Amino acid sequence: MHMHRAKYVPMGGPDGGDGGRGGHVYMSVNYNYWTLLHLRYERHVFAGHGGNGGANGSTGADGDDRYIDVPCGTVVYDAETGEYICDVTTDGEVVMLLKGGRGGMGNKHFATATNQAPRFAQPGEPMVERTVILELKLLADVGLVGFPNAGKSTLLSALSSARPKIAGYPFTTMEPSLGIVSYRDGQSFVMADIPGIIEGASEGRGLGLRFLRHIERNSLLLFMVPGDTDDIRHEYEILLGELRNFNPELLDKQRILAITKDDLLDEELRQMLSDDLPDDLPHVFISAVTGDGLSQLKNLLWTAMNSESNKLAAITQQERIVHRNKDINTFRQELLDEGEDEEIEILDDDAIEDVDELDDFIYDENGES
């Protein structure tokens, strides 16, 4: 709010300008980032306040916008309700998380024939704060699904230069691993190994629930069951059931079954096992130790990934990808288990909070801003 004062301008009247808008808060995808570790010690992000309006109808400066750099595959949830907000998958993609509030109108807007010197101005929209959860889901072409000790890490190390931990006890893999698998003519695809799934993983048992979300990003699922298992089909159906319980959308992805430890099987046993498998499920016998079947497996994976049906599914999935809302109680327990006690909090300084407050005015009997 301001009154015009000039030496040769009697009764200058109101000339207070409008306030500037508050800063926006954006999330920006940066392919140089692979994790969310850089946000671990920057839990609070503040956008700038809008500037005050000035004399001669000058509009205040807009608040500084803030950009939060995240890797591809980041998903955002509301920390209060667990509701899914958005996800970003393309380098350079920018999403507005919070919009800056409008600046208030200066007193020059309120001059009338009966009130030619209004000594009040409209305040800007108040700040609003929001707490969100940022979750990273790995982007890979092929996701490995199997029970502990099914040979997933061994296969990844045999097909790529990745060196995941390999041992003879369950849950050797404690975090997801990515490997680039070379194919013909310089072509390649990305394969993701996640910790083993056990029965009941969709209900929180074992490590499966924490890492099942990474499978949602894969265009193709490679199920792995050891050849010395008593009932291969039964184990496959258990794995399929866990994915169905976690997210039914996962069943729409193409699936291939790899029967590992082929070096322990003979031709008669392979034929008997093949007859017991579903007819519509492509399968291959492999041995990561001897290398048997690995070339056939890569051919099968490449053909499935580049099939017309899979390309069409990938296009439609980008338009209709479905994310489950997050169970906040489960998430808080995960934070406690990992030694965390805070979430990332994003604050916007001038975003709208209550439209009714737009009718409140600032009064100054002295006519000063």
In a domain, 8, yes or no: no
Statement to judge: residues 180 and 120 lie in one domain: no
The secondary structure of 239-288 as a DSSP string is HHHHHHHH-GGGGGSEEEEEEE-GGG--HHHHHHHHHTS-TTS-EEE--T
Last residue of a domain, one of 306, 327, 352: 306
Residues with Cβ < 8 Å from 345, sequence gap 6 or more? 43, 44, 45, 79, 129, 130, 131, 132
According to DSSP, the residues that pair with 173 across neighbouring strands are none
Tell me the three state secondary structure of residue 206. coil
Of 306, 331, 353, which residue is a domain's last?
A: 306
Q: Report the number of distinct structural domains present in the chain.
A: 2
DSSP conformation class of 24: P
**Three-state DSSP class for 314?**
helix
How many CB atoms neighbour CB 245 within 10 A? Answer: 14
Look at residues 261, 290, 306 and tell me which one is the last residue of a structural domain: 306
Question: What integer pLDDT is reported at residue 26 of this predicted model?
Answer: 92
Evaluate whether residue 261 is within a structural domain. yes
CB distance 288 to 266 below 8 Å? no
The CATH number of the domain holding residue 275 is: 3.40.50.300
Closest CA to 17 of 6, 38, 5, 3: 3
Whether residue 198 is found in the same domain as residue 64: no
Q: 4: phi > 0 → left, psi -120 to 50 → alpha, else beta; which?
A: beta
Residue 313 within any structural domain of the chain: no
Residues 157 and 300 in one domain: yes
CA-wise closest residue to 242 among 282, 283, 277, 195:
195
Give strand pairing partners of 86.
76
Helix segments in the chain, DSSP class H? 152-159, 208-211, 232-246, 267-275, 294-305, 308-320, 328-337
Phi, psi at 306, each rounded to 5°: -100, 10
- Output the six-digit token pair for 156: 């990844």
Q: Is residue 3 part of a domain?
A: no
Q: Which residues of 6-15 are buried (b: 16+ CB within 10 A; e: fewer)?
A: eeeeeeeebb
**Same domain flag for 214 and 277:** yes
**Which domain covers residue 111, as residue numbers?**
25-127+342-363
Nearest to 212 by CA among 252, 239, 180, 234: 239
| Among the listed residues 117, 331, 144, the one whose alpha carbon sits nearest the alpha carbon of residue 222 | 144
123 and 150 fall within a common domain: no
DSSP string across 122-144: PPPPPPEEEEEEEEE----SEEE
User: Is the residue at 152 inside a domain?
Assistant: yes
- Does some domain include residue 319? no
Q: Give pTM, 2 decimals.
A: 0.58
Q: Is residue 330 part of a domain?
A: no
Same domain, 215 and 170: yes
> What's residue 94's pLDDT?
92
Of the candidates 362, 348, 297, 355, the one whose C-alpha atom is nearest the C-alpha of residue 100 is 348
How many H-runs (helices) and E-runs (strands) does the chain carry? 7, 16
Domain containing residue 49: CATH number: 2.70.210.12
Per-residue pLDDT of the chain (369 residues; tens, 9 = 90+): 677 777 777 777 788 788 888 899 999 998 888 778 888 778 888 888 888 887 887 888 888 999 999 988 888 888 888 888 888 888 889 999 888 888 888 878 888 878 877 887 788 888 888 888 888 776 678 888 888 777 788 888 888 887 766 655 555 555 677 788 888 877 888 888 877 676 655 555 555 555 666 677 777 888 988 888 888 888 888 888 888 887 777 788 888 898 888 888 888 888 888 888 888 888 889 888 888 888 898 988 888 887 765 554 554 444 445 566 666 666 666 566 555 544 444 444 444 344 344 344 444 544 444
Residues 108 and 165 in one domain: no
Is 70 in the same domain as 152? no
For residues 260 and 286, the answer to whether their CB atoms sit within 8 Å is yes
178 with 101, same domain?
no
Residues 89 and 208 in one domain: no
285 and 269 in contact (C-beta within 8 Å)?
no
Judge if 271 and 185 occupy the same domain.
yes
- Cross-strand bridge partners of residue 20: none
Residues 291 and 205 in one domain: yes
Q: Is residue 112 part of a domain?
A: yes
